[in-house]
């Protein structure tokens, strides 16, 4: 039995809505149904965790909701725009301007400094970075003293903090985080999760995180559980992650 999560009552406060979403793949002569009639709505300014066993469809759901993958049937509406009706060029524009991404592998460009990696989504869209926002993000994330360094000179936790700043710098409608702590030790992972939590509480950001780590769900307001391509659980929670510690010090601009 498929669990539908309030899509029929979609409101303007829902940033992402999927309706009757189906995604199938071919494996030889077999058809694999990665998503099977998934209808969910994601509220604005909330931290939603998506969990489930390997092969449950959680990453596929995120990729379809973010316009990174096509759907077989159904619809995806992101910030008022139906992604399933857009051309590849239009999808690229939406992803660049209205979506932030944080991946397990960081995906930083090695030849660029931390600062240049952070502002890349803005510069690629032809806009000018908001230096006050960049400075604020670097200050809050504790990387203000590292922004002139390249990724190879940063720890894994610092690289992921750069990735979080990059995801937030364009003031996106939603940030999708795919296993953001997968390559980090427990301490660095907790720090990154705390920063994502702070982006929700202090910046009003919407975060959707796919994770296999039950401990990571403590930072979320809501936990969606998938199994066999269907939503089988939808729990509203009270975040129980460690209280964030403010970072002290004066942000430093790159020279």
User: For the chain, what is the radius of gyration of the CA atoms?
Assistant: 18
Look at residue 243 in the predicted model and tell me its pLDDT: 46
Q: Which residues contact 88 (CB under 8 A, 6 or more apart)?
A: none
Per-residue pLDDT band at 250 (split at 50, 70, 90): very low
Do 202 and 184 form a contact (C-beta atoms < 8 A)? no
Taking 60 as the threshold, does the pLDDT of residue 10 lie above it?
A: no
Residue 127 lies in a domain: yes
> Which structural domain, as residue segments, surrounds residue 30?
7-79+86-236
Q: Is residue 254 part of a domain?
A: no
pLDDT of residue 80: 93
Model pLDDT for residues 132-151, shown as the tens digit of each residue: 999 999 988 889 999 999 99
- Looking at residue 238, its pLDDT comes to 82
Hey, is 14 helix, strand or coil? strand
The answer, yes or no, to whether residue 43 has pLDDT greater than 80, is yes
The pLDDT confidence band at residue 12, using thresholds 50, 70 and 90, is low
Tokens of 118: 């952070």
Average pLDDT value for residue range 163-187: 92
Distance between CA atoms of 90 and 112, rounded to whole angstroms? 27
First to last CA, the chain: 58
- Look at residue 28 and tell me if it is in a domain: yes
Pairing of strands 222-227, 47-51: parallel
Tell me the pTM. Answer: 0.86
pLDDT > 60? residue 254: no
For CA atoms 193, 194, 196, 200, the dihedral sign is positive
Does position 36 have pLDDT exceeding 50, yes or no?
A: yes
Beta-bridge mates of residue 16: 42, 78
Residue 244 has a pLDDT of 45
Q: Give the CA count within 13 Å in the CB-facing half-sphere of 201.
A: 15
Q: What is the pLDDT of residue 247?
A: 37
In a domain, 250, yes or no: no
Look at residue 249 in the predicted model and tell me its pLDDT: 36
Does the pLDDT at position 236 exceed 80? yes
Per-residue pLDDT averaged across 162-186, rounded? 92
As a whole number, mean pLDDT of residues 160-177 equals 93
**pLDDT score of 112:** 96
Residue 107 lies inside a defined structural domain of this protein:
yes
Q: Are 34 and 228 in contact (CB under 8 A)?
A: no
| 12 vs 130, residue with greater confidence | 130
- Asked if residue 193 is part of any domain, the answer here is yes
What does the pLDDT read at residue 246?
Answer: 34
Q: Residue 165's domain is classified under what CATH number?
A: 3.40.50.300
Number of domains, the chain: 1
73-77, 83-87, 223-227: least confident range: 83-87
Query: Cα-flanking dihedrals φ and ψ of residue 242, to 5°?
Result: -55, 145
Q: Is 136 inside any structural domain?
A: yes
Q: Which residue has the higher pLDDT, 253 or 145?
A: 145
Q: Which residue carries 């660049």 as its tokens?
A: 96
253 found inside a domain: no
- How does pLDDT run across 197-210, given as a tens digit for each residue? 999 998 899 999 99
How high does pLDDT run on average in the chain?
87
């Amino acid at each position: 039995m498929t669990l539908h999560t309030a899509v029929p009552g979609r409101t303007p406060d829902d940033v992402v809505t999927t309706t009757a979403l189906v995604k199938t793949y071919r494996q030889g002569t077999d058809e694999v149904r990665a998503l099977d009639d998934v209808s969910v709505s994601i509220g604005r300014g909330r931290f939603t965790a998506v969990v489930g066993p390997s092969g449950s469809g959680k990453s596929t759901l995120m990729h379809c909701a973010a316009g990174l993958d096509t759907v077989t049937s159904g619809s995806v509406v992101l910030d008022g725009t139906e992604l399933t009706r857009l051309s590849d060029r239009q999808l690229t524009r939406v992803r660049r301007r209205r979506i932030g991404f944080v991946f397990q592998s960081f995906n930083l460009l090695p030849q660029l400094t931390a600062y240049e990696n952070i502002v890349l989504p803005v510069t690629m869209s032809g806009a000018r970075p908001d230096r006050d926002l960049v400075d604020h993000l670097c200050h809050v994330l504790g990387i203000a003293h590292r922004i002139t360094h390249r990724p190879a000179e940063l720890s894994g936790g610092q690289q992921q903090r750069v990735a979080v700043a990059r995801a937030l710098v364009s003031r996106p409608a939603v940030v999708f985080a795919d296993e953001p702590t997968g390559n980090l030790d427990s301490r660095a992972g907790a720090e990154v999760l705390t920063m994502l939590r702070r982006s929700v509480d202090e910046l009003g950001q919407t975060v959707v995180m796919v994770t296999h780590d039950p401990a990571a769900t403590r930072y979320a307001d809501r936990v969606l559980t998938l199994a066999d391509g269907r939503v089988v659980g939808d729990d509203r929670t009270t975040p129980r992650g460690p209280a964030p510690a403010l970072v002290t010090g004066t942000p430093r601009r790159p020279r």
